[in-house]
Amino acid sequence: MYQKIKPPEEGEKIEYRDGKFIVPDNPIIPFFKGDGIGSDVVPAAIKVLDTAAELIGKTIVWFEIYAGEEAYRIYGTHLPEDTLNAIKEYRVALKGPLTTPVGGGYRSLNVTLRQTLDLYANVRPIYYLKGIPTPVKNPERINFVIFREATEDVYAGIEWPKGSKEALKLIEILEKEFGAKIRRDSGIGIKPISEFATKRLVRMAIRYAIENKRRSVTLVHKGNIMKYTEGAFRDWGYEVAKQEFSDRCITEEELGEKTPDGKIVVKDRIADNMFQQIMLRSEEYDVIVLPNLNGDYLSETAAALVGGVGIAPGSNIGDGIAVFEPVHGSAPKYAGLNKVNPTAQILSGAMMFEYLGWKKASEMIKKAVVMTIEEGTVTYDLHRQIGGKLVGTKEFAEAVIENLRSL
């Protein structure tokens, strides 16, 4: 089945039955370092994860796979079939960042990965860890989870450059048949948002809210302007809540003075308003669901509220398949310098543990990260804001491991 990689002989596969992962005590988990700083942060994170797993009596059997430049060197392609097959077979994977060329070049590997494996929800928890510098006054009130759609919207990759025969043809059809006015020197991109993709995302978000005792689900959209894509996203979202979860959800409109016990409030907000809402009234938001592009912007802004991209973890989730990754990219200028902060990669691993049902280990990792930062042991990004003892990527991870062992 594999051309250039060999699955480990030890360890067992994670299975998926009746909508749930069945996780052995020694799961095989594929991982790739990716590009740029991936080779700094991924090995550092793996050491921390191994320690946390050991402390709860589990062992991860890592299976190295390849994507990005390293894959290109080995396979002659940036995203080999081997890599996709390993993630499909083993279901849960840890990834480092991947570089994407701007303008021309190959298509985003991250987008291709999400679309090929149908990892339709980009899930990013935004919570504050004590000691981390933040631009907001009450960061401890921030604790929400973003569900961003990841397979469609303007990320669908349906676009043509100015003057191409496809762009000119589309402009002609739109003008002749639909009376639209478009300048002939326009590039053309298409923004599809479907009922199917919206509903499965909202369904996942509401289920998450129920399972994790969250109080509200907010549908964020720009439906006042893009009525049949973003506006429809909102309408389909409410439909899911009303038709499939009426016993657990209540809409903001139906709500009286007080939320009835055990009910989740479903509401919606216009995207631009939402940017100030998460800064000024973050405690009013709990689970936030958005289409792809606005989700991208909002999650990066949200990450900045709790320490920036060096801290923020993320994941790409489908049905019975999940890939965990930091929010940040490959930051090529820092690659191989043992300089950047591995926290986002470490916390992505902690999120993976939570997903596997290893909640205790996940909480221990978060605690150990907080202890390390509170002791003043920090990488350059936090050092320039709060000072302390400046350390490299590896040394930071070692300090986290020491704290983990002391818990």
Catalytic residue among 58, 191, 222, 339: 222
**From the CB of 155, what's the least distance to ligand NAP, in Å?**
13
Is 258 labeled as catalytic in the residue annotation?
Answer: no
**From the CB of 139, what's the least distance to ligand NAP, in Å?**
18
**From the CB of 303, what's the least distance to ligand NAP, in Å?**
10
100 versus 151: smaller Cβ distance to ligand NAP: 100
The tally of CA atoms less than 13 A away on the side-chain side of residue 267 is 17
Q: Which two tokens stand for residue 24?
A: 């052995």
> What CA dihedral angle connects 264, 268, 271 and 275, to 10 degrees?
-50
Catalytic residue among 75, 90, 120, 155: 155
Q: Which two tokens stand for residue 20?
A: 């749930």
User: 384, 316, 25, 394: which is closest to 148 by C-alpha?
Assistant: 316
- Kindly write down the DSSP assignment for every residue of 136-161, as one continuous string: SS-GGG-EEEEEEE-SSGGGG--EE-
Strand partners, 146: 124, 288
Catalytic residue among 272, 333, 359, 360: 272
Residue nearest to ligand NAP (CB): 329
Q: Is 270 helix (H, G, I), strand (E, B) or coil?
A: strand
How big, in percent rounded to 5, are the helix, strand and coil portions of the chain? 45, 20, 40
Is 334 labeled as catalytic in the residue annotation?
Answer: no
Residues binding ligand NAP (CB under 6 A): 37, 41, 97-100, 110, 309-310, 325, 328-331, 340-341, 344, 381
167 versus 347: smaller Cβ distance to ligand NAP: 347
**From the CB of 255, what's the least distance to ligand NAP, in Å?**
37
Asked if residue 85 lies in contact with residue 131, where contact means CB atoms within 8 angstroms, the answer is no
Is 25 labeled as catalytic in the residue annotation?
Answer: no
Is 296 labeled as catalytic in the residue annotation?
Answer: yes
> What CA dihedral angle connects 239, 242, 243 and 245, to 10 degrees?
120
**From the CB of 183, what's the least distance to ligand NAP, in Å?**
29
309 versus 391: smaller Cβ distance to ligand NAP: 309
277 versus 338: smaller Cβ distance to ligand NAP: 338
265 versus 365: smaller Cβ distance to ligand NAP: 365
Catalytic residue ranges:
155, 222, 272, 296
